[in-house]
Amino acid sequence: MTATNLPRRIVIAGGGTAGWMTAAALARTLGPVAQVTLVESEQIGTIGVGESTIPPLVAYNRILGINEADFMRATQATFKLGINFENWRVPGEAYFHSFGGTGKDHWSAGFQHFWMNGLTRGHTAPYSEYCLELKAAEAGRFAHLPEDRMNYAYQLDSGLYARFLRGMAEADGTKRIEGKIAQVQLDGETGNIAALLLESGKRIEGDLFIDCTGFRALLIEGALRVGYDDWTHWLPCDSAIAIQTASVRPPVPYTRAIAHEAGWQWRIPLQHRQGNGVVYCSDFLGHDVALEKLLSSVEGEKLVKPNHIRFRTGARRKQWHRNCVAVGLSGGFMEPLESTSIHLIQRAILRIVRMLPAGAISQRDIDEFNDQQFTDMEQIRDFLVLHYKVTDRRDTPFWRHVSAMDVPESLTHKIELFRETGRVFRKNEELFAENSWVQVMMGQGIMPQSHHPVAAKLRDEEMAHLFGTLRDQVARTVAALPVHGDYVVRYCGADVPVAA
């Protein structure tokens, strides 16, 4: 096939983070071999509360050739080393899910096995003492280190990120069309999407359509009716309220997730403001009570009115159907507990680029895309459910409900495997690494009943030397790091606050 056989007309329905991430990647990757058109209406708002990200976004921006300091300045971003989970196992306690590795793994077993063996020999230092990113976050320090030794992500304004990407995409040739979609027109013979008809009467034809219309899913569901797998029986929270406040203290390099009686709250520090929100299950907490809980706990001047969001966790049964691919909320939703929303957008976009047909769309490509995307979502779903299922909380009806609920067999296996053996196995390029599962499962209260026998191979003096060296390396590195807020100002400080 030649380049002229590529689907030259790629139409993106909807803007926001999903739409402009897609447009920027396609325009920059394909260049003149594809005509990228994005349709959006300024009259339709975006959800725009996703401000906390995970490390793969660093690589995504690098793939697109984005200058990190420019990007962070434009989005008022700060650095993120992980998430502090407060009140999840029991009220009044916290644990940290960091982005880095902990200690030093052996090829046969993760560091947790050596640490558990060390407990039997009198080594009492917490598991967290061996993680650079975790200790740097606790100290409020950050810097780029040689050889990318510090794993990090960003805390950013997603609306400003979309604006930044729009400028880049348009410079690379993306055509933006203003207007509301009135009708999705199907081809009577093939069942494919033939065109989008706007309220203005303008008709936009295309070869491949990307649905970035958010919860409305106008193309993938409204026109193609692919169906939806509802996961609320495992993730029962169905409502959120978000609000932005002025910063009253220097930003810390982590996000806070604070559990309450029927869900949790987030706090995300940017350069000039803080993102705040409450997530809750409406079966266990009323809207007015949730709003009061949020407003009474925020710090600083309120910059906007509260944004009320209703959602249903789950996934479209087909993410790609005929000549339409769902990206972002149109493909499904999982609450932002582990900051995976932008990541799922990114994964879908990269798969589209890799599987872009050179002529007619292959059903095998479609099937492979759907299998990979759905596997991603199921694995992330299980990781989120873990936070609710494994808990010692029984203090409210909500926590009694989630702790007693049946969970997917895939998650049950992972929990019981770790509980019995201390082992975690990843499958199919699973997003969350072994150390993520270890940190969350131990943080939620699971202490393995056994560990790998290779840990017993170390003599007492060898283990003492290893543990001491690892802790000293972490402590020395953290002590030499600058304060996070100071580093952000020097590296990427935004000159003028930008209204959201």
Catalytic residues: 80
Helix (H, G, I), strand (E, B) or coil at 314: strand
Report which residue type is found at 486. Answer: D
* Residue 381: burial class (beta carbons within 10 Å; 0-12, 13-18, 19+): buried
Contact yes or no for 302/242 (Cβ under 8 A) = no
How far apart are the C-alpha atoms of 269 and 256, rounded to whole Å? 9
Token pair in block for residue 37: 């058109």
Report which residue type is found at 98. Answer: S
Indicate left, alpha or beta for 308 from its phi (over 0: left) and psi (-120 to 50: alpha).
beta
Angle at CA 156, nearest 5°, toward 280 and 250? Answer: 95
The DSSP line for 353-365 is HHT--SSSPPHHH
Query: What residues contact residue 447 under an 8 Å CB cut-off, 6+ apart?
Result: none
Contact yes or no for 418/448 (Cβ under 8 A) = yes
Report which residue type is found at 388. Answer: Y
Residue closest to 151 by CA, chosen among 254, 226, 69: 254
In the sheet with 193-198, reading across from the earlier edge strand, the strands are: 181-186, 193-198, 203-205
Strands 314-316 and 228-230: antiparallel
Neighbours of 107 (CB within 10 A): 5
Helix (H, G, I), strand (E, B) or coil at 297: helix
Helix (H, G, I), strand (E, B) or coil at 177: strand
How far apart are the C-alpha atoms of 94 and 349, rounded to whole Å? 35
Phi first, then psi, for residue 260 (nearest 5°) are -125, -170
Which residues in 261-330 belong to E strands, given as ranges?
263-269, 273-280, 307-310, 314-316, 320-321, 324-326
Which residues in 41-141 belong to E strands, given as ranges?
78-80, 82-86, 94-98
Indicate left, alpha or beta for 148 from its phi (over 0: left) and psi (-120 to 50: alpha).
left
How far apart are the C-alpha atoms of 116 and 418, rounded to whole Å? 13
CA 254 to chain centre: 14
Token pair in block for residue 28: 């920059």
Helix (H, G, I), strand (E, B) or coil at 20: helix
Helix axes 16-30, 158-171, angle to 10 degrees: 30
